[in-house]
A and B are shown apart, each in its own frame.
Chain A
Amino acid sequence: MLKINDLHVHYGGIHALNGITLEVPENKIVTLIGANGAGKSSTLKSIMGLAKTSHGTIQFNGEEITGKPTTHMVSQGLILVPEGRRIFSNLTVEENLFLGSYLRKDKAEINKDLNWVYELFPRLKERLWQMAGTLSGGEQQMLAVGRALMSKPKLLMMDEPSLGLAPLIVKDIFNIIKEIHRKGMTILLIEQNAKAALEAADYGYVLETGIITLEGPGKELLVNDQVQRAYLGDHK
């Protein structure tokens, strides 16, 4: 579904991504793990057209989308749940959700998706008229995911959905990710929480300072020595 080939991204003089190649097949959860500053967020940003790609190609459903504006990406079915949630604090929960469907014109379908989001996150429905900024951290993350789903994406990209959340809530979030996946959604997940991410993922990539150093099925990476030592804190 999504194919990235030899992607380079520069910020000023910093070489954030140094030629990464990865693939996200349809109906799979693919995860990209790595430490701070490894280039995880840069990867998502350049896919969405939020960061400038200096070299390489990005293909989505066979279409070359490198360098296209973000509006185009969203209309093609790519959506990003940004790092740190970035919900619109001073707008109501409902307004936030409708902003997710901003580019869509199919009213009936939008309402259907809205009901689906309420089903996934009953708590959002209870807080429809509340300002989004008054929600708890976990609820805000749910809202960010719900907002993204409202765009009717084909590929849902999440940037550290577990960031700053209590362990119990993180579990909730990952259950929701699996639930969304079960409905047929393709997901590209970026995480520092390597264990949770690899357990949920079909396939994983390990990113280190702009280069992919390791890849393989999630279950295999979970038991891989190198991953264990670097990300799972296991010093056997």
Chain B
Amino acid sequence: MTEDLVSKKQLKYLNASTRKLIWWKYRKHTLAMIGLVSIAGMYFTAVFCEFLAPYSKDTRHLEAIFAPITKIHFFDEKGSLSWPFVRQSSLELDMENHRATVVEVPGTHFPIKFFVKGDSYLFWGMWEWNRHLFGVEQPGTLFLFGADRMGRDVFSRCLYGTRISLSIGMIGVLLSLLLGVTLGGISGYFGGWPDGIIQRIIEVIRCFPSIPLWMGLSAAMPPHWPAMKVYFAITLILSLVGWTDLARMVRGKLMSLREEEFVLAAKFVGASDLRIIFKHLLPSFTSHIIVSVTLAIPGMILAETALSFLGIGLRPPITSLGVLLKEAQNVTTVALYPWLLIPVFFVILIVLSFNFVGDGLRDAVDPYSR
């Protein structure tokens, strides 16, 4: 009589799969849920950034060099409420401070429209289109985050930068996952001298202060390399230094698991080492690997940002958040045009979200505890 012994709620819990239990536990973690939603949003942005951004990343508006954040007006000249609109901006020489400033032209009226026609782009490098989610018609301009020294829209560039930064994190982590699981796997499963050598290598890599090492490696790239090659080289460099944490985790887990009975049983029925590792051992701690990977991504993104910020990472035309921040290196520029600092908050948001998700996952992967 199960109904007497356990309630319906308990029965649901007892019948649930591990995956379901992890999800239930994860759902309770508010910050982790916020992080998950924000990461999902950012990846969505990264995938569709050509459409979501009002301008393409390299469109230069000569009339809007260092244009401040465009004011969106809700009231027209007569003071009555209207659909949000912007005024046309134009460059004016400020003779007092000897610099050009961007001012609004009174009387102009450019309503913000959805699915507006703008710069044409190749969506995912395949389909040509010229509609953008929102924007204003020419010659009006809409700069949500202002414009930079070449009159490019910082908001659009942030979206494109997010795409590159996130992709660096993904590819870099995949590479270091490959290295970490392979080397950590050999180290943990076989032990003995391979373990000794791999452990020494890990120790040496961890001794190096990572940023100077990254700097040294990426500065060694020949300056004539094309931007795309630099992109892959940087990803490779980041993962060459970043795989050690994963390898240690995999090694530790394998060492404790290889003594379990199910491994012995698999050996008795004649399974090969590779089969035991990939079919029996790795799946038993996939969740832990996912946690480590989630927590490793922000480190990769930050490292790339730091390198590009210093000018030895990615180079234009590839635009990452770090490349954007390079514009903000000079204090006097930033003091005059503070909106150039906005990409900083994108970086912080990405890192914070990944950390929240990682923390939540770490708590949730052992659904049977407590």
Tell me if chain B binds chain A.
Answer: no
